[in-house]
Structure 1
Amino acid sequence: MSERGYLIKNQQAVHFITFAVVQWVDIFTRKVYADIVINSLEFCQKNKGLKIHAWCLMSNHIHLIISTEEPNKLSDLLRDFKKFTSVKILEELNNSNIESRKNWMLWIFKKAGENNNRNKEFQFWQQNNHPIELDNVKIFDSKMAYLHQNPIRAGFVREEKDYLLSSGLDYYGNEQGLLKIDFL
């Protein structure tokens, strides 16, 4: 790992990407925050050349199998996605009158921002994306299974097709899920 975190060398290759909320705060248990992530992914698909091959949004992190085409760069797309969703989620959280964990979460995000010189005030996402280039079928199949079995391991569902916040429905339920999938 370099000083600037994990680097994506081949910007147009298919990658398995994972990033988490600072301190692993379980914010995506609320639909309003999960919707911001899903809507932002959809925007990136329509406007920034993002190809989503598989995805899974858990309570405090997201797994993606994604790629993009020239002239887009995956690292730029992820940077912009994380910045935009951070601002929107913090804005929604700050304006919430019903979020019971509001002060606690804002305190955590503020402390994380103060401890990271790359931020102005708050930090929502952890810095790294942990990219793994999926350059062979064995690695691809392994990451695809890991991603879709995450909600099962967490005890949320019994089968991959039953978890709404993933591409499990697309792959195992033969239906279209919340996001358009670019099958490989």
Structure 2
Amino acid sequence: MRTTNHLHLIAASEDLSHDIQRFKSYTAKQIIAHLEQCHSAKLLELLAFFKRAHKQDTTYQVWEAGSHPQIIESEVVMRQKPDYIHQNPVKRDYVDQPEHWRYSSARNYAGQAGLIEVIRAWCVTREAGASKTAFPSWSLGTSALLVFYAGRRSRLGLN
């Protein structure tokens, strides 16, 4: 069985750093609860092994600290990012087609039902000669639209 070890995400928020931290906290709690419910001792042992020594308030480490943001400054880049993200499991030989990857928004983009709601409508607006990428239903304020990579590649040695 191949193990996935990272996440690609296109997101926008008034306080993106804070919201990414909340996302990681919530998902870590849910993952740990699921592993405990399923009595997945081996995986829990691995997550306990990777816990940072200075973190006294937790038993397990699901996510690496930090993230690796990349700003999306143009429509060209905004069109490239979903394609790159969708091709990632294909390039890693997990699936033959992007839509076959259960956890990919490629299903949504192909008109199929995905696991979560994906906002596919975005636009480029012009403000005083500058372009700004925006999602119609989200208020970006001064926040930038970023692509995040968060993962365990370097620590688990999974490539």
Which 4+ stretches in 1 moved above 3 angstroms? 114-120
Q: Which has the higher contact order (CA 8 A, sep 6+)?
A: 2
SS at match of 1:64: strand
Task: Give distance in 1, aligned partners of 2:53 and 2:87.
Answer: 34
Which ranges in structure 1 are unaligned for 5 or more consecutive residues?
1-24, 27-58
Which ranges in structure 2 are unaligned for 5 or more consecutive residues?
123-159
The answer to whether structure 1 residue 61 and structure 2 residue 11 are counterparts is: no
SS at match of 2:73: coil
Q: Equivalent residue for 2:151?
A: none
Q: Equivalent residue for 2:65?
A: 127
Post-superposition Cα deviations, 1:96-135, rounded to whole Å, max 9, x if no partner, equal 24xxxx3332222112224354853321111122111111
Q: 1:140 to 1:119 in 2, by over 3 A?
A: farther
Task: Give distance in 2, aligned partners of 1:82 and 1:150.
Answer: 21
* TM-score w.r.t. length of structure 2: 0.64
Task: Give distance in 2, aligned partners of 1:156 and 1:121.
Answer: 31
Instruction: Choose 1 or 2 for highest CA Rg.
Output: 2
The structure in which a higher percent of residues are helix is 1
* TM-score w.r.t. length of structure 1: 0.56
Identity %: 24
Residue identity in the other structure for 2:81? K
Q: Are the aligned partners of 1:113 and 1:119 in contact in 2 as well (CA < 8 Å)? A: no
Task: Give distance in 2, aligned partners of 1:164 and 1:76.
Answer: 27
The answer to whether structure 1 residue 85 and structure 2 residue 27 are counterparts is: yes
Shift, 1:138, TM fit: 3.0
